[in-house]
Amino acid sequence: MAYDMSQFATNRFIKMHPNTVLTHGSTEPVLSILDVRGFALHDLFLIGFNDNCGTLVLPTESRAENAATALEPAYETRVYLFGSRDGEDVWATDYTRRALDGTTLSAFITNLTLKDGCQVIQDGRWVR
């Protein structure tokens, strides 16, 4: 039996949607991508600071793999065992947005210039 995802709804910052879809943060664009790509929106917990990166927590490995497939190639994904709760395994799919050239961008620091004027990150990419 799969883990009951509604047990993640533990605080006021987690938004509940129909079909046991739980979200935390700015995640609506990712839900739209999953929906358009044919991934069934039920029994999932989506955690994201913005639409560039986050984690989908799912009750089974097959759903986690299907979520990764739905997000590729626009996002780099990684599926792994998130942990066990109440004797049931919980799986996760991490995602990070890719640029058009296939590189993974920094989701938080887009530009960084040191005090000496040397720019080390430009447009989310490390400058060499």
Model pLDDT for residues 53-98, shown as the tens digit of each residue: 889 999 999 999 999 999 998 899 999 999 887 788 899 999 988 8
Say whether both 93 and 116 belong to one domain. Answer: no
- Measure the CA–CA gap between 106 and 18, rounded to whole angstroms: 32
Q: Give pTM, 2 decimals.
A: 0.74
- Measure the CA–CA gap between 68 and 72, rounded to whole angstroms: 6
Say whether both 93 and 108 belong to one domain. Answer: no
What pLDDT, on the 0 to 100 scale, is given for residue 92? 94
Say whether both 10 and 28 belong to one domain. Answer: yes
Say whether both 84 and 123 belong to one domain. Answer: no
Q: Which domain holds residue 45?
A: 5-97
In this structure, what CATH number is given to the domain that contains residue 57? 3.30.1360
The tally of domains found in the chain comes to 2
Residues 6+ apart with CB under 8 A from 113: 119, 120
Give the residue among 64, 122, 68 at the shortest CA–CA distance from 92: 64
Say whether both 93 and 107 belong to one domain. Answer: no
